[in-house]
Amino acid sequence: MSLPSLLGVFAHPDDESLSAGGVLAQHAASGARTAVVTATWAEGTPRDGELAEALRVLGAGKPRLLGYADAHVPHSAPDQPRLCDAPLDDVVRELVGHIREFRPDVVITHDAHGGLTGHPDHVHTHRVTVLAVQAANWRHLYPEAGDPWQPRDLYLATHPDSAARELGGQLMRPGLASYSVPDEWIGAAVDVSPWLGTKLRAIAAHHTEVARGALPGRLAAYPFAERARLLSTEWFIRHGDPSPASPRSSL
């Protein structure tokens, strides 16, 4: 049986694979429509091509790039503003257009901390997505962006405190602060081990990040058993319900 249609909204190429690659692969394998909007990097840049390969592996269609610059990499989108500097209304309007065109049942994005790293682009993508999911169903807001649509759910990719304590030392560079949420906030804890191979291939498609020793590169150096320990569960907060009675096993 097909799972709900799923739209991921993430800040950078590779965030989709690291944060929700298993869930994206799971939904695609069930026959559900899946897609990903990426806020930074422009068409024609190297990471655009890497993103296209990762999405092909995950079954999530072609890249949907908003085309803003990464906060730390100006050449990611030549002549375009940094995501965090762009007019908020413009970014929300663009994302509303993607939501109304794709018409997903479920949207997933970063949590309000921006995940373990707290990257400013992750935090801002969270803000934009929360606003766009609400605005997408208001017919007088951005009427030029298509017919209204209301996603059923918005889920925020995160790490519970217990997992951050156990896994953070391998996922984070030494000496950096990490951000997590109380365990009781988790609305879905998804075992993605059946799709782990697909998730790992999607992460590895981001060759630039592998080569420079970012998280995809550090993961590639671990034995498979360690990668499985680090990546076989994906956790989400259900927006608007931070204290569910018990976590769901799927979205």
Q: What is the pLDDT of residue 246?
A: 76
Show Cβ contacts of residue 175 under 8 Å, excluding neighbours closer than 6 positions: none
Count of Cβ atoms closer than 10 Å to residue 213 Cβ? 12
pLDDT at 240: 87
Can you name the residues that pair with 37 across neighbouring β-strands?
9, 64
Q: Give yes or no for a contact between 108 and 23, defined as CB atoms under 8 angstroms apart.
A: yes
Res 157: pLDDT: 98
- Is the pLDDT score of 244 beyond 90? no
pLDDT at 242 over 70: no
What angle in degrees, to the nearest 10, is found between the helix axes of 196-204 and 224-231? 100
Q: What is the mean pLDDT of the chain?
A: 96
pTM attached to this predicted model: 0.96
Superfamily holding 6-238: LmbE-like (3.40.50.10320)
Per-residue pLDDT, 250: 83
Local confidence band at 248 (pLDDT 50, 70, 90 cut-offs): confident
